[in-house]
Amino acid sequence: MAGTIQSLILTTPSIVTRPFPRRKACPIISRSLRISPSRSISTIIRCCKPSDETHGSGLANGLNWTKPLLNFAADNFLPLALVGGVAFGLANPTLGCLADKYYLSKFSTFAIFIISGLTLHSDAIGGAAKAWPVGVFGLCSILLFTPYFSRVVLQIELQPQEFVTGLAIFNCMPTTLSSGVALTQIPFSISKFIAVGVGVSVPTSQLLRSLVFTLLVPLILGKVLRESFKGLANFVDHNRKLFSKISAVFLSLVPWMQVSRSRSLLLMVKPAVFIVAIGMGTLLHLILLAFNALALRSLSAVSGGSKSIFAKKENAQAALLVASQKTLPVMVAVVEQLGGAFGESGLLVLPCVSAHLIQIILDSFLVNLWLRKDRSSNTSKVA
């Protein structure tokens, strides 16, 4: 702006000394010249102002164009982080292999569950206790019923076989909400449903100890820190989105390292096989949703109908999502502890990354459908 004013001051004499007749001069400028030179400068600056506003509006339009992209990235940070980790591992595997060499995956898994403990609310546990029959159904579905679908998954013939095995392992995983309780069951589920089908022996006691130290200890540590320091708890609550993004970054490091390590094998896989694996992950989640929805409807019918606790909308919706979702962090921790017993870890993890993204997308559509139905019903009641 200082340069603009200086140029205007330097050009002012040319306006005053032009040999045009005074009657043809601009009335505004001529009046300002008769009053004082400083007034003429301010008038000329006002005349030039619209061009600055035009430039500013163009800049604002550019910012308005980028704002939706930034909002989309913020709302979908986890899927973008996972896809970015896989893409970066395929593009340049050197850093991923170096990070894997120094056991960064163990640190990232530990950090994920510390954050889970830091963000775990005690009142959420108390609220779930009021609907304990629904919680019991969720645990039974997660730990006992849905792992049986792994045997069906293992019947599919696909090369590389690790794609099928990885999805079968993923199906034995719990949701993050129930990961602490499910740790005691995961080694036995893998031994019963996966190892028998693949023909591999799994040391269940050793796997259980590893999972306790890798997952349960950091989860408890995070919860203890939250309850011990109220200032920390308030900080976490006020920055939940930030901690969610940090957790997503740590989670994306695992497929990045696994894909980097298995890049040469992944590049040999045909694109059609990837598409089939994605279709399998989609179909698996739809089957789990249908199974749990049918089970909840049946329990509601035999326990009081519309007055049943299973018929309460918020209970049924929460149980349906929790019992049908499988968590990627626990799965990658299990694969790390297995040490290649079921095949190349990168090939095991990659289809599960796509399955995790698919369940996020499908469940987002489902939740939005429920919200639209609630809004339409509220509108009809008001009318």
Q: Write down the mean pLDDT value for the chain.
A: 77
Nearest CA to 98 among 253, 251, 267, 328?
Answer: 253
**Once rounded to an integer, what is the mean pLDDT over residues 313-325?**
85
Q: Residue 276's pLDDT band (boundaries 50, 70, 90)?
A: very high
Residue 285: pLDDT above 80?
yes
The mean per-residue pLDDT over the stretch 362-369 comes to 85
For residues 134 and 315, is the Cβ–Cβ distance under 8 A? Answer: yes
DSSP 160-206: SHHHHHHHHHHHT---GGGHHHHTTTHHHHIIIIIIHHHT----HHH
Residue range 151-156: average pLDDT?
89
How far is it, in rounded angstroms, from Cα 157 to Cα 153?
9
Whether residue 218 has pLDDT greater than 60: yes
Judge whether residue 21 has pLDDT over 60. Answer: no
With contact defined as beta carbons under 8 Å apart, do 349 and 272 qualify? Answer: no
Q: Quick one: tokens of 46?
A: 């006002």
**Beta-strand runs (E) in 178-281:** none
| Both tokens assigned to 374 | 């609630």
The yes or no reply on domain 78-375 and CATH 1.20.1530.20 is yes
Residue 290: what pLDDT? 94
Residues 6+ apart with CB under 8 A from 235: none
Quote the distance between the C-alpha of residue 136 and its chain's center: 27
* Single pTM value for the model: 0.70
CA distance 213 to 19: 91
d(CA 109, CA 141): 25
Residue 257 token pair: 């390292």
Higher pLDDT, 256 or 100: 256
pLDDT digits (tens, 9 = 90+) for 229-264: 989 999 999 999 999 899 989 988 988 998 898 888
How is residue 306 written in tokens? 């519309």
Computed from CA positions of residues 115, 116, 117, 123, in that sequence, does the dihedral angle turn out positive or negative?
positive
State yes or no: pLDDT of 81 exceeds 80: yes
Structure tokens at 362: 């499908």
Name the helix (H) or strand (E) containing 320: helix 313-324
* Cα 102 to Cα 259: distance, rounded to the nearest angstrom: 16
**pLDDT grade for 165, boundaries at 50, 70 and 90:** very high
Q: Which residue has the higher pLDDT, 38 or 100?
A: 100
The answer to whether residue 26 scores a pLDDT higher than 50 is no
- C-beta of residue 12 within 8 angstroms of C-beta of residue 44: yes
Percent of the chain whose pLDDT exceeds 70: 73
Q: What is the pLDDT of residue 40?
A: 45
* Site of tokens 């909308």: 313
> Which long-range contacts (C-beta less than 8 Å, at least 24 apart) are formed by 264-271?
265/160, 265/344, 265/346, 265/347, 266/90, 266/346, 266/347, 266/350, 267/90, 269/160, 269/347
